[in-house]
């Protein structure tokens, strides 16, 4: 797609604009500046609407699942911090501060210590209450089912 414009020709306060668009000649007589703006906008709109765009089929992506961190030491769901390490390094490159709302983990902030040197990230989660290393998070829905089953067994 190619657009070219020739120098406008002005005769008796009417300006003629000649555009060549996709081997077609468009001639427009413009009598005012506002009409000129509208005409240019129209040319621009036609060009955009006829542009060939590459469409890609969207892959079926599953909805992000909520997760819960559980401290077996404290027997609670609470504040958590995660140390993100790179393989073969001497310390974490960042800390993630996590809190929970209705048993769903929410990221509060990220503290960057140094730049990450690779994409190979090893997370270590710690309970912010007791400082113990905790297991990786589990899906909130699964966690809630386990709690419900535990509570229903205790009522018997």
How many CA atoms are closer than 13 Å to the CA of 102, on its beta-carbon side?
2
Give residue-wise pLDDT tens across range 29-39: 556 666 666 66
pLDDT recorded at residue 37: 65
Give residue-wise pLDDT tens across range 81-116: 999 999 888 889 999 999 999 889 999 999 999 988
CB-count exposure of residue 116 (10 Å: 0-12, 13-18, 19+): middle
Distance (Å, rounded) from C-alpha 17 to C-alpha 36? 9
What is the DSSP code (8-state) at residue 76? B
Nearest to 144 by CA among 52, 98, 90, 77: 77
Comparison of pLDDT for 141 and 38, the residue scoring more? 141
- What's the gap between Cα 54 and its chain centre? 21
Give residue-wise pLDDT tens across range 32-87: 666 666 665 666 555 555 555 555 554 544 456 899 999 988 888 999 999 999 98
Query: Beta strand 80-86 with 24-30: parallel, antiparallel or unpaired?
Result: unpaired
- What's the gap between Cα 127 and its chain centre? 28
Read off the pTM.
0.54
Please identify which residue in the block is written with the tokens 């997760």: 67
Query: Beta strand 14-21 with 80-86: parallel, antiparallel or unpaired?
Result: unpaired
Take residue 18 and report the two structure tokens written for it.
Answer: 């000649």
């Amino acid at each position: 797609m190619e657009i070219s414009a020739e120098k406008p020709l002005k005769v008796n306060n009417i300006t003629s604009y000649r555009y060549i668009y996709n081997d077609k000649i468009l001639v427009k007589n413009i009598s005012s500046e506002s009409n000129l703006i509208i005409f240019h906008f129209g040319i621009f709109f036609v060009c955009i609407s006829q542009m060939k765009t590459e469409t890609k089929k969207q892959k079926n992506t599953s909805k992000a699942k909520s997760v819960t961190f559980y401290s077996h030491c404290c027997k609670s769901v609470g504040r958590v911090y995660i140390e993100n390490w790179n393989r073969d390094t001497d310390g974490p490159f960042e800390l993630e501060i996590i809190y929970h709302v209705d048993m769903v983990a929410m990221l509060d902030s990220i503290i960057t210590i140094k730049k990450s040197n690779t994409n190979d990230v090893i997370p270590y989660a710690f309970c912010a209450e007791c400082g113990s290393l905790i297991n990786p998070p589990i899906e909130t829905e699964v966690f809630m089912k386990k709690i419900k089953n535990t509570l229903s067994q205790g009522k018997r």
